[in-house]
Amino acid sequence: MRSFCCSAATFLPAGSAKNKQHRVLLGISKCKSRCVLPPSGGNTYDSVPDAWIYGDGFAVLVESKANGDFSPGQMQAHLESLRQDGRERPSELRTTWARIHSMFREYSLLPVLTDVARFIIGQFIQFLEYSGMSGFANFKLEHFSYFLLHDDDDARRWIRE
């Protein structure tokens, strides 16, 4: 299965996404979402997704939030860009960055990973931890080193969180 991702700067035309058999709106936020979508209606909200992941037979529209919750109008607009008349409604999946962190920690233990894949996954995990998106993820040696070398503002914020 071929797949690739493109940023919002190279927006995938909605017509291409609508023709895919499997269509998913993936929302990722820091906290569990409480966003309630309005009843289906016309798209009056103009929004560009954060990313698209697509390939043969599927399209995933990604909307992510570092803080706050999703906007009902924005999520409805994203669903409309995936909807095709007469076909099944696109799936909607909402998750948290902490769950993404946990999932990638599990993936990092897979014995089939190449060294490069393990490194990239490790860097992503570390980014989520350093940016406060993972929740508590165990103590690390760097936490204790902070008490000896505590002049780093970024480290101070990381330890506090």
Give the predicted TM-score (pTM) of the model. Answer: 0.70
Percent pLDDT > 70 in the chain is 68
What pLDDT score does 78 carry?
A: 87
Distance CA 108, CA 93 (A): 23
Distance CA 39, CA 80 (A): 12
Q: Are 116 and 144 in contact (CB under 8 A)?
A: no
Vertex 123: Cα angle to 121 and 68 (nearest 5): 95
- Per-residue confidence at 26, pLDDT binned at 50, 70, 90? very high
Helix (H, G, I), strand (E, B), or coil: what is residue 151?
A: coil
- Per-residue confidence at 105, pLDDT binned at 50, 70, 90? very high
Q: H/E element holding 103?
A: helix 97-107
Of 159 and 130, the structure prediction assigns the larger pLDDT to 130
- Per-residue confidence at 62, pLDDT binned at 50, 70, 90? very high
Average pLDDT, integer, range 105-113: 94
The amino acid at residue 9 is A
Q: Are 90 and 37 in contact (CB under 8 A)?
A: no
